Amino acid sequence: MRLVYISNYFNHHQKTLSDEFDRFCESFCFVETNKVSDERKKLGYSEMSAPYVCRDKDLKQDVLDNADIIVIGAAPLDLIKDVKKEKPVLYYSERPFKKEKSILERFYWSLFWRKRNFGIKKLYMLCASAYTAADYSEFGLYKNKMYKWGYFPATMKYDLSELFSEKKPADILWCGRFLDWKHPDDAVEVAKKLKADGVSFRLTFIGTGEMEQELHSMVDEYDLGDCVRFLGSKTPEQVRSYMEKSGIFLMTSDRQEGWGAVLNEAMNSGCAVVASHLAGSTPYLVKNKKNGLVYFSEDTNDLYNKVKYLLNDPGEQERFGREAYKTIFEEWNAEVAAKRFLTLADAIFKGDRYPDLYSEGPCSKAEFFGENWFKEE
């Protein structure tokens, strides 16, 4: 299989999957259209490269012409405007409606999207959010041609006995950019309630962002300095180290979180995750009360109750953590995704219009998750 994969920038979240494609493909080219932003660099991202990476300005048309299949994500669609109309193309996309749009805005978005398909006949969608399929289906786009996808950061193999012997059940971790739609302040509100109830815990924040001063002010106002700490930005390797020691991980983002690869990493690190039902990765990765807990986005009482439940029951923490690790190690990882993708791509290339090859996980048919999918059992 000769594969061209076009995306915005090459980083540690893209590299693991790309390495697997390079290993299994006859030829593989990752086309990078941007450099890592300064904001991402402050969070510990670094500019990376590999022999199969090229910049969009260096991309030759014959590379696209010779590819068996093309994947394009967050990149200018003009790059594929001259692709042969019979060549299979798979878009990968987070949900397009991260913010609420009016009916008229959605209609014009649909017309624009159809126009930018350049007449390509074999178009498919890789859903890098559990909400992608429902958003696109509103307009009949990619009917029966949407598949589960996501982001696939490095998957670590652990000795689970050793991993869980070093975890601290009272340690709660939050990491990411301090943005309003990621709701780090919800974690502080939970800390306030926990301290008032006399629960022993320590909440650690890793990251930077526009809400940082507000968060510090909340911690001071609530007198939480003895149980909440801020570590600033850390490298991906350092973040993993904190995940490996933490008992609980919080994913508090709302609908604007396209995916949220830190959830993959925390689950792979054996954390008991408590994840917002609106984060793009949650419905795909977290099975409530089986490999973690799901809570209703922005409902701090629901979040508090589930965090307190885990703090009071380290055995449940470990049970969820082991199942979370299993989810990532056995299914939601780069090797499985790359192998399944190439099987799916081969079926499409050979003329199967609607391949249905897997029942769960990467490259299985995408369900239509609406925002009311989560019902507390």
Higher local confidence (pLDDT), 30 or 138: 30
Phi first, then psi: what are they for 205, rounded to 5°?
-105, 130
Give me the mean pLDDT over the 307-325 stretch: 98
Please report which confidence band the pLDDT of residue 107 belongs to, taking 50, 70 and 90 as the band edges. Answer: confident
Higher local confidence (pLDDT), 81 or 266: 266
Determine the 3-state secondary structure of 248 from DSSP.
Answer: strand
Rounded Cα distance, 259 and 247, in Å? 22
Phi first, then psi: what are they for 253, rounded to 5°?
-70, 155
Give me the mean pLDDT over the 207-211 stretch: 96
Rounded to a whole number, what is the distance in angstroms from the first to the last CA of the chain? Answer: 44
What local confidence, expressed as pLDDT, does residue 109 receive?
77
Rounded Cα distance, 129 and 147, in Å? 10
Go through the domains of the chain in sequence order and give each one's CATH number: 2-152+333-349 (3.40.50.2000), 160-330 (3.40.50.2000)
Exposed / middle / buried, residue 179 (Cβ in 10 Å: 0-12, 13-18, 19+):
middle
Determine the 3-state secondary structure of 212 from DSSP.
Answer: helix
What local confidence, expressed as pLDDT, does residue 147 receive?
98
Q: What is the mean pLDDT of the chain?
A: 94
Give me the mean pLDDT over the 15-40 stretch: 90
Determine the 3-state secondary structure of 361 from DSSP.
Answer: coil
- Whole-model pTM: value is 0.94
What local confidence, expressed as pLDDT, does residue 99 receive?
87
Please report which confidence band the pLDDT of residue 245 belongs to, taking 50, 70 and 90 as the band edges. Answer: very high
291 has pLDDT over 80: yes
Contact 52, 86 (CB under 8 A): no
Q: Which helix H or strand E contains 23, and what residues bound it?
A: helix 12-24
Contact 94, 280 (CB under 8 A): yes
138 has pLDDT over 90: no
